[in-house]
Amino acid sequence: MSWTARVWFVLCLVALPTCATAATIHVPGGHPTIQAGIDAASFGDTVLVACGTYYEHNIEMESGICLTSETGQADCVTIDAQREGRVLSCYGLDKGTMVVGLTLTNGDIQASNGGGISCRYSLVTFVNCVVSRNRAVGYRCRGGGMYCIGSNAPTLVNCVFTDNTADRTGGVDCDFCAPTFTECLFTNNVTLTTSSFGGGMSCRSSASSPTLIDCTFYGNTSPEDGGGMFCAGGASPTLVGCKFSNNTAARFGGGVFCINIASAPTFTECSFASNSAPFGGGACCRYTQTAFTDCTFSGNSAEARGGGMSFELGSLEVLENCLFQANSSPMGAGVCCYESSPSFEGCTFVLNEAGIGGGIAFVESGYAELTNCTVSDNSAFLGGGMYCVSSTVILENCIVAFSETGEAIFCLDACSLDLTCCDAYGNEGGDWVGCIADQYGVNGNFSLDPLFCGDLSDEKPFALHDASPCAAANNPGCGQVGAWGVACGATPVEATSWGAIKGLFR
C-alpha cells in the first residue's frame, strides 16, 4: 500500500459519524443511572453523561443510541463494575450506535466471554474509550477486555485496552467477525492459562479478518503463543503501520503468532521490537501464507530459534523490503526457516547474533529464495551470514559481507545452494569457502568490497556508494546487487569507517 493510499484509507476510517441529535438524555441530571438513560432513549437519541464515576454493571446498550461523556474523552466518565459483572453488552445493534469517551473498568464475568465488553452481531462504533482491569475467568473464557462475534462487527478508533486478563486472550478476542481498529493501544493484557491464545488480541476463524491501522501492542503476555497477537483457524487480519514491542510468549511468537495454511495475514509497514519467545521472538508463522512488506524486526530474542522471525512447517511466506537488525537467538538470529519455503526480496539482515546462522538459518526447508538482499555484519559460530542444512536455497543478486564471526555461508548435510550475481566479502570465517567455494567467479559471483555508504547516508547506511561494484551502473551483467541502490558518492569512501556504520544500528 502506497503512503498516499494509506493516508486516504486512514482518513476514510476516522471520518466517523457524530452523535445524532434527535433528543439528548442527561445523566444524572435527567436520569440517575446510565442504564436508566439508555432505557429512556429512542433510536437517534444521545445519552449525555456528566463527568464522574458511575458504579454500574451489566449495562445493556440499545440500537441507534449514542452514549457519550460530556467531553468525549475517556478521563471524564468512568463506569466501574466493581467486579460484580460485565461492564457493557452490545447485541444486535444497528449502524449508528456509538460509545464515546468512556472508561470501562473492573468488569468480571465467569463462565462467559468479554469481561469489559461483549459485542455480538453489532455495528457499534467506539471512540476514545479505555477498557481496563477487566477479566473473564472460568473454563476457556475469552476476551478479558472485549469479546466480539458475528458478521456485523464493531469499529474502534483511538481506544485503549490495558491490564485486562482472561483464561484465553487477555485483551480482545475476535470470533467469526471483522472489526476495524484505528490508532488503538493494547498494553499489559495477560492470558492466564495454557492452551490459550494471544495476550493482546486473537482472531481464530476463517471469517475473522480484523483490520488494524496504526495500532500498538506493548507489554502483553501469553503463557503459550502470540504474546501480542494470535491468528489461527484461517483468520486473515490486515495490519498497516502497527507496532509490536516488549510482548512475550512462552512458546511461539513473542509479537505475533500465525497458524493454519488457509490463513493469509498481511503486515505492511509494521515494526517488531524487543519481543521475546522461545520460537520466533518477533513473529512466528506455521502453516500460513503470510505477507510482510516494509516491516522492521529489531532487538527481538528467541530462546530456541528465530530471533526476529521463525517460519515453520510448510509456511509459504513472502517478505519484501523488510529489515532484520540486532536480533538474537541460538539459531537464525534474524530469521529461522524450518521446513518452510519463504521468499525474500529486497530484505536486509544486519547486526544479528546467533550460535548458528547469524543473519538467517535454513533447516530442512524445501525451497527458499533470496533476491536482492543484503546480509551484513552478523555473527555466529557457524555461518555468520547464513546457515543451511538439508535445504534448497537460491540466492540472486545478494550481498553477504562483514560477518564478525563465522563464514559467509555454512552448509551441513545435503544443502543445495545456487548463487547468481552474489558478492561475498570481508567475512571473518571466509567468503567463498566450504559448500560455495566452487561458485566463486562463475554465474556473475564475485568478492569485492560493496562500499556501503555508512554515515554518508544516515537513513540508508547499507546503500551503495556510486563507485560500488554492486551498483547497477558498475555491474551491467548483473544489475544492482543487494537490497539498496546508490545513495552517496560526493564524499570519498575512505572517510567512512565500519565502526561508524555499526554505530548507526546500536
Q: Which three cell numbers stand for residue 73?
A: 474523552
The predicted pLDDT at position 402 comes to: 98
**Position 498 pLDDT exceeds 90:** no
Strand, helix or coil for residue 503: helix
List of residues 6+ apart from 161 with CB closer than 8 A: 116, 131, 132, 145, 146, 171, 172, 184, 185, 186, 187, 189, 200
Quick check: is 349 in a domain? Answer: no
Q: 292 has which bridge partners? A: 267, 319
Report phi then psi at 118, rounded to 5. Answer: -115, 120
Confidence band for 5, pLDDT divided at 50, 70 and 90 = very low
> What percentage of residues in the chain have a pLDDT greater than 90?
78
**Position 280 pLDDT exceeds 80:** yes
CA angle 55, 94, 266 (to 5 degrees): 95
> 151-182: per-residue pLDDT in tens?
889 999 999 999 999 998 999 999 889 999 99
Question: Largest Cα–Cα distance in the chain?
Answer: 86
Quick check: is 35 in a domain? Answer: yes
The predicted pLDDT at position 370 comes to: 97
Q: Average model confidence (pLDDT) for the chain?
A: 91
Confidence band for 196, pLDDT divided at 50, 70 and 90 = confident
Give the separation between CA 317 and CA 291, rounded to whole angstroms: 6
Instruction: Give the residue, 14 or 3, on which the prediction is more confident.
Output: 14
The answer to pTM > 0.85 is yes
- Tell how many helices (H) and how many strands (E) occur in the chain: 3, 57
Q: What is the DSSP string of 45-87?
A: -EEEE-SEEE---SEE--TT-EEEESSSSTTTEEEE-TTSS-S
The predicted pLDDT at position 11 comes to: 40
Helix (H) or strand (E) holding 132: strand 130-132
Q: Which of 100-109, 200-209, 265-274, 283-292 has the lowest mean pLDDT?
A: 200-209
> 461-475: per-residue pLDDT in tens?
999 999 999 999 999
Confidence band for 4, pLDDT divided at 50, 70 and 90 = very low
The predicted pLDDT at position 3 comes to: 35
Quick check: is 358 in a domain? Answer: no
Measured CA distances, 329 to 136, 152, 380, 385, 426 (Å): 35, 42, 10, 14, 23
List of residues 6+ apart from 54 with CB closer than 8 A: 27, 33, 34, 77, 78, 79, 80
Strand, helix or coil for residue 500: helix
> 67-79: per-residue pLDDT in tens?
999 999 999 999 9
Quick check: is 285 in a domain? Answer: no
Quick check: is 99 in a domain? Answer: yes
> 409-425: per-residue pLDDT in tens?
999 888 999 999 999 99
The answer to whether the Cα torsion of 37, 39, 40, 44 is positive or negative is positive
Report phi then psi at 205, rounded to 5. Answer: -155, 165
Give the separation between CA 495 and CA 455, rounded to whole angstroms: 9
Quick check: is 208 in a domain? Answer: no
> What percentage of residues in the chain have a pLDDT greater than 70?
92
Quick check: is 189 in a domain? Answer: no
Among the residues of 433-497, which ranges form H helices? none
Confidence band for 9, pLDDT divided at 50, 70 and 90 = very low
Quick check: is 144 in a domain? Answer: yes
Q: Between β-strands 386-389 and 360-363, what pairing exists: parallel, antiparallel or unpaired?
A: parallel
Confidence band for 20, pLDDT divided at 50, 70 and 90 = low
Confidence band for 504, pLDDT divided at 50, 70 and 90 = low
Mean local confidence (pLDDT), 85-95: 96
Mean local confidence (pLDDT), 378-406: 96
Confidence band for 313, pLDDT divided at 50, 70 and 90 = confident
Q: Are 130 and 115 in contact (CB under 8 A)?
A: no
Q: Which three cell numbers stand for residue 91?
A: 447485541
Domain that holds residue 60: 23-148
The predicted pLDDT at position 6 comes to: 45
The predicted pLDDT at position 506 comes to: 45
Q: How many domains does the chain have?
A: 1
The predicted pLDDT at position 261 comes to: 62
Give the separation between CA 68 and CA 27, rounded to whole angstroms: 10
The predicted pLDDT at position 414 comes to: 84
